[in-house]
Structure 1
């Protein structure tokens, strides 16, 4: 990804939006956590209270039922089957929680029973009879065995009972029978529904009753009879009461309140544990909703504040933008640009004045340096580079990595002295300037032509961009032809010629002066051979030039070796 530069204005807007979003995120997280803790305490206490109320109600009701059966068992008339029948029918009619109540003789045969159900049946093997002979007995929840098919069951669900029985004694205190009662477990369901109804503002709330052996006695559909082993149950049996977040066997987390049934009065209880639970995601939904609201409003505020920051940053950065724009135009070389003089904010005013003074000083220094550099490296008459610049250029070429071969041309004008003698030095200066322009126009941008002094010029020719050697015959022909064109001075056509000698670096010298000296020797050979021509030092060195040799001039030059120099 390519990142573009951001302006100060955009940066301010972006940072403002980021800060608002970050602050909203932190506030949402902190508020959500605090709300979760508060909700956990609030709901946890209410769940614990529900569990306590339910277990207290169960223990109180069981205590009342046990006392009811115990009191009836002490009435002498109950030992009479006829009287007992009237008593159990009346008890059944007045207490809807009584599923069945009956009297058994000492042998365990039922002699009186509500609605006449099971009269004459031998119940001597049933715990309600066996334990009832010993004293007041309160049994835990169990399935209906004998009564399942005899009692009405509108719900169709399996029938559950809680047994209470007490011994019947004669005047001498001898046990002669048992009074037994089966209380419907729907009584516990009624208590559960009543408490949950009062908490219907808590969605997902459920209550469970767990027996002393960990068996679920009452709970959500399908949970009855299952085993439940939770840390909260173990804590409750240690008489701890409270709440906490706990993972249940179904893999879900619940906020759970717990209470243990420790009995009531002389009733010691059956070791029941009541749990009230609510799914964590439901319980903490208000906190999550609050967090989402904060994030939403934070996003809205981020947009609003970023727009306001954009507007404010535009006002703040307007003077800085003016300074930056002027500085960029100065960098691009646009003439006549000045740093604007700005007021208002003290820092901006100081910056503006300091930059104006600095730019002024730099401009003056640059102009002075430019003048000094021009004087040091430029020929004042022709505006061409001078010998000093030529030497530096040659040195830079020779120091480049992968250096190769470049060619140095030494050029002298033919017939220039007669122009000075006949037309004057002013005309000679005109000729030199025209020749300089023509020489420069014949060369490429990477080549260099310089004036050495008088009517002498030098040039450095580098290889083409493709790396192929330059054709020196074509280059020298072009230079000689360009110089030979007439020059009009005061209405008079003047012609001069050009003799060229050239040598190669580093083949003909390790330094530029060495190569120039070889090129100068080739130049004088060209003069001796008739002028207005080019001679290569390589040919001169090889002895290819003698008095009778035909050296190319004009349009017939020689192609000499030239290698690219990087």
Structure 2
């Protein structure tokens, strides 16, 4: 074959191969980068979501046990219950109204059951059981245990070994000494109901699993094959948060962790809640995006290699300019664009298509940045979320300047949520978020931390006057107190505010935040719907 015939073919092959490698290389690089960044963002978002589920369930379990303990403690103080006939009628009514009560009864000082729901265990002595022995000493909340005296005497599912949580309180005589015990066995089944109520809105999350662990790490509730056994993953040492790691089954999970901390004067039973989701499910969207970018890159590579083959003989000069620009882009040089050349139709089309490709790949990075923004935003109120607030505080610890810090907690929100439903509660939170946005300066940070909790940071430079935080707090309270219309019904909430100043109250940002929180609780104790500015005297009073 003559050399003159060979060279054009070699040039066409080289041009086609160059186009394919250039486009595919850009697609692969961008696909890998965007996929990796997307995985990290999704990890954080799903991890925080899992932590939120775990925290909500842990708090709900503690709140339920606190309410039940208070109920039994209050009933035990009623003198009329010492009359067996009154006690029997009261016990049966409680059992009828509360399906979670498996058994309720009253014992005398020696531990003999005098009255009980459905007459179960009447006449038997349960003095050796903790529900009686500990109940004589004071209010007692016992951890989860299997049925002993009641085994086989109460209805339960076939093959199920019923479990209870005990609550008991002493019955006191006129001299203030115990004369008996009011004792209740609550069925453990209520935890399943609570867990279903909290996880039903997340049933679209494939592979979501929730564990409830006892203080010793034993699984109380979770997959059937795990109940009664230690958790197959060393996570109990973690504080509340989330992690991504391998479990003993060889699967990587994104896991949210929350430890029960009790409610008010109820210290809790040390339960831990874990919510996990397979990382493969979390990363599925990132994998799809990566495959889409690489697939479109492969298709474009084929397209441009064909164009290069057929156009190489006519586009030597403009192709050189395009190849040069593409090489500079591939080397990471900023501000470089593929030239839009005239002349041959094929070359002009090639240059425009390459410009569109580079623009498309660049916009993928912009989409990733938008995804990052979403991760920092509270979806309900559009305010910054807790994650953004904490990162802003972290930046403050490494900088200079000053700021006033506020903790804001709504008063009267829970009754609206309970009475009108979560949609009404969401409407109130959105309205409060909008009102807060209008009250603060552009350089102030106001964020929703979760639930009905908000926080604000009012920064100032060295040459600025300190912001009048107390006056601003008064305007916040006034704005929040404005009624909210929900389906034609007007509802109101208030708010309590705690204020502390950095660095006046402490050079340590974390300490200032804690003092703002102490001031908030002082505002709650002083009657709510007011603002309290932290002072050293207030700190001593709190301590």
TM-score (norm 1): 0.54
Q: Aligned-pair distance for 1:201?
A: 2.1
Q: Aligned-pair distance for 1:154?
A: 3.3
Distance in 2 (alpha carbons) for counterparts of 1:202 and 1:191: 18
Distance in 2 (alpha carbons) for counterparts of 1:221 and 1:294: 42
CA contact (8 A) 1:128 1:139 kept: yes
Residue 309, structure 1, aligned to residue 312, structure 2: no
SS in structure 2 at match of 1:9: helix
Residue 169, structure 1, aligned to residue 172, structure 2: yes
Residue 219, structure 1, aligned to residue 218, structure 2: no
Partner of 1:243: 242
Residue 53, structure 1, aligned to residue 56, structure 2: yes
Residue 8, structure 1, aligned to residue 11, structure 2: yes
Q: Aligned-pair distance for 1:178?
A: 0.7
Distance in 2 (alpha carbons) for counterparts of 1:169 and 1:24: 78
TM-score (norm 2): 0.56
Per-residue CA deviation, residues 399-454 of structure 1 (Å, 9 max, x unaligned), is xxxxxxxxxxxxxxxxxxxxxxxxxxxxxxxxxxxxxxxxxxxxxxxxxxxxxxxx
SS in structure 2 at match of 1:308: helix
Q: Aligned-pair distance for 1:155?
A: 5.6
Per-residue CA deviation, residues 488-535 of structure 1 (Å, 9 max, x unaligned), is xxxxxxxxxxxxxxxxxxxxxxxxxxxxxxxxxxxxxxxxxxxxxxxx
Distance in 2 (alpha carbons) for counterparts of 1:154 and 1:17: 65
Partner of 1:36: 39
Residue 70, structure 1, aligned to residue 73, structure 2: yes
Partner of 1:27: 30
Partner of 2:297: 298
**Aligned partner of 1:81 among 69, 80, 84:** 84
Q: Aligned-pair distance for 1:98?
A: 0.9
CA contact (8 A) 1:9 1:317 kept: no
Q: Aligned-pair distance for 1:42?
A: 1.0
Per-residue CA deviation, residues 243-290 of structure 1 (Å, 9 max, x unaligned), is 110222222111000111000011001111111100111111111111
CA contact (8 A) 1:24 1:295 kept: yes
1:162-311 map, 5 Å: 162-228=165-231, 230-236=233-239, 241-311=240-310
Distance in 2 (alpha carbons) for counterparts of 1:231 and 1:200: 26
CA contact (8 A) 1:137 1:165 kept: yes
SS in structure 1 at match of 2:303: helix
**Aligned partner of 2:132 among 123, 129, 144:** 129
Distance in 1 (alpha carbons) for counterparts of 2:169 and 2:194: 25
SS in structure 2 at match of 1:134: coil
SS in structure 1 at match of 2:160: coil
Distance in 2 (alpha carbons) for counterparts of 1:287 and 1:308: 31
Distance in 2 (alpha carbons) for counterparts of 1:220 and 1:154: 17
CA contact (8 A) 1:55 1:274 kept: yes
CA contact (8 A) 1:8 1:317 kept: no
SS in structure 1 at match of 2:190: helix
Residue 17, structure 1, aligned to residue 20, structure 2: yes
SS in structure 1 at match of 2:254: strand
SS in structure 1 at match of 2:66: helix
Q: Aligned-pair distance for 1:38?
A: 1.0
Per-residue CA deviation, residues 468-493 of structure 1 (Å, 9 max, x unaligned), is xxxxxxxxxxxxxxxxxxxxxxxxxx
Distance in 1 (alpha carbons) for counterparts of 2:40 and 2:302: 31
Partner of 2:539: none
Distance in 2 (alpha carbons) for counterparts of 1:112 and 1:250: 50
SS in structure 1 at match of 2:186: strand
Per-residue CA deviation, residues 114-150 of structure 1 (Å, 9 max, x unaligned), is 1111111111111111111111100111111122211
**Aligned partner of 1:159 among 157, 162, 165:** 162
Report the CA distance shift for 1:197/1:30 in structure 2 as closer, same or farther (over 3 A): same
1:75-114 map, 5 Å: 75-114=78-117
Q: Aligned-pair distance for 1:301?
A: 1.1
Report the number of matched residues: 315
Per-residue CA deviation, residues 70-97 of structure 1 (Å, 9 max, x unaligned), is 0111111112222111111111111111
Query: Unaligned 5+ residue runs, structure 1?
Result: 321-343, 346-566
Distance in 2 (alpha carbons) for counterparts of 1:252 and 1:185: 30
CA RMSD of aligned residues (A): 2.2
Distance in 2 (alpha carbons) for counterparts of 1:155 and 1:279: 32
From the CA coordinates, give the structure whose radius of gyration is larger: 1
Q: Aligned-pair distance for 1:21?
A: 1.3
Distance in 2 (alpha carbons) for counterparts of 1:255 and 1:207: 12
Report the CA distance shift for 1:15/1:155 in structure 2 as closer, same or farther (over 3 A): farther
Distance in 2 (alpha carbons) for counterparts of 1:156 and 1:76: 41
